[in-house]
Amino acid sequence: MPIINYYLCANNRLSAPGCQQKEMGMQTKIENPKSSTDFDALLRRKAQSINYILERILASQQIDGELKDALKYSIGTPGKRIRSLLVLWCCELVAGRVNHDAELAAAAIEMVHTYSLIHDDLPAMDNDDVRRGVPTCHKAFDEATAILTGDALLTLAFEILAKGIEEPATALRLIGQLAHDAGPAGMIGGQMADLKAEKSEGTKELLEYIHVNKTAKMFRCAAAMGAICGGAAKKPFDRLCEYGLKIGLGFQITDDILDVSASSEQLGKTAGKDVRAAKCTYPAVVGMDKAMKLQMKLTDEAITLLKPFGKKADTLRQLAMALLQRTK
């Protein structure tokens, strides 16, 4: 089963997830896109390289007992590693290659992301039993261990940046960016609003606030961290941030859509939970059709932002399309 079911029809029109028959128009074009199998293989290979980096970092830490087991369990269970890939590819775009700083930043953002999932699944939050195809951390261990495992990943992320990035000014920028986008004016703020909005009459404004903060800002952060590691000037930096924000918002809309249209087996997490918890989601507030059109528009806009980078940005273009088409 491919991680991401990416395909572009011959006339450059797409079928959207959950609505495979329905074709919608896209404004942007990708010249000579890699085939779905090739891009899927690239994503797998790159995700595997992130897994090695994470394994190495964890193995180098002096952590014992159940905490070490829970950390290995949570970080070792393969996720898609999309935020990490975004760091690497934004660095590559700007600097022509992936450097050591980008690898550390990729590991750091994945740690923060994994922590956010462990806490998101807790009974006090979304109360989920399955994550990445296995029992959630609090089910495999216990609630206290899950809380502390999340805390450990969050703090470790900042430690590896503080100690591992050679240039102090770069370290400081990366730490500031991650702290901001994962913090109260970013992911935490969005998560809080998401919980408060349950069972409420959701508005489009509230919905956008929740999704931009809980998810899109971590994507912006990944793009920003990659650009910082690559030494981007202000203009390309701003463009990549904007690209990250747009694909990030699209990513959460897809997550909402897949919660309705995909199976738990496919997702590796419980499907249909958003409706049961009366979550403020795009399908619930604006409907499936509008949600899919918005995904498409955001992808178009994200790809348009990459124009000044020319062919060098093809991987990021394909990533945007792949995320639009993902089925898990």
Closer residue to ligand IPE, CB minimum distance, 44 or 132:
132
Contact mark string toward ligand IPE, 189..228, x via CB under 6 A: --x----------------------xx-------------
Stretch that binds Mg ion, among 14-22, 58-66, 119-127, 174-182 (CB under 5 A): 119-127
The least CB distance from residue 3 to Mg ion, in Å, is 17
Q: What's the rounded Cα separation, in Å, for the pair 243 and 75?
A: 27
Site map 76..115 versus Mg ion, x via CB under 5 A: ----------------------------------------
Of 231-260, binders to Mg ion (CB under 5 A) are: 255
Helix (H) or strand (E) holding 21: strand 19-24
CB of 254 to ligand IPE, least distance (A): 8
Residue count (the chain): 328
Cβ(267)–Cβ(3) under 8 Å? Answer: no
Q: Which of residues 240-279 bind ligand IPE (CB under 6 A)?
A: 252, 255, 269
How many angstroms from the chain centroid is the CA of residue 209?
A: 17
For ligand IPE, the closer CB: 117 or 313: 117
Query: Of the two residues 8 and 187, which places its CB atom closer to ligand IPE in the complex?
Result: 187
Strand partners, 16: 19
User: How far apart are alpha carbons 104 and 87 in whole angstroms?
Assistant: 10
Stretch 120-159 residues interacting with Mg ion (CB under 5 A): 120, 126
Q: How far apart are CA 208 and CA 272, in angstroms?
A: 21
Q: Most distant CA pair in the chain: distance in Å? A: 56
Distance CA 54, CA 106 (A): 9
Q: Are the beta carbons of 86 and 226 closer than 8 angstroms?
A: yes
- Four-residue CA torsion sign, 180, 184, 185, 188: positive
Instruction: Find the binder of ligand IPE among 86, 171, 187, 245 (CB under 6 A).
Output: 187
Q: Choose the stretch contacting ligand IPE; rule: CB under 6 A; options: 14-22, 40-48, 79-87, 307-315.
A: 79-87
Stretch that binds Mg ion, among 20-28, 54-62, 118-126, 318-326 (CB under 5 A): 118-126
For the window 126-165, what string marks contact with ligand IPE as x by the rule CB under 6 A? x-x---x---------------------------------
Buried b (16+ CB within 10 A) or exposed e, 209-230: bbbbbbbbbbbbbbbbbbbbbb
| Residue-wise DSSP of 49-79 | HHHHHHHHHHHTS---HHHHHHHHHHHHS--
Per-residue binder mask for Mg ion (CB under 5 A), 196-235, x = binder: ----------------------------------------
Q: Could you say whether residue 116 binds ligand IPE (CB under 6 A)?
A: yes
DSSP state, 186? Answer: T
Per the CB < 8 A criterion, the answer to whether 166 and 103 are in contact is no
The binding site for ligand IPE (CB under 6 A) comprises: 79-80, 82, 113, 116-117, 120, 126, 128, 132, 187, 191, 214-215, 252, 255, 269
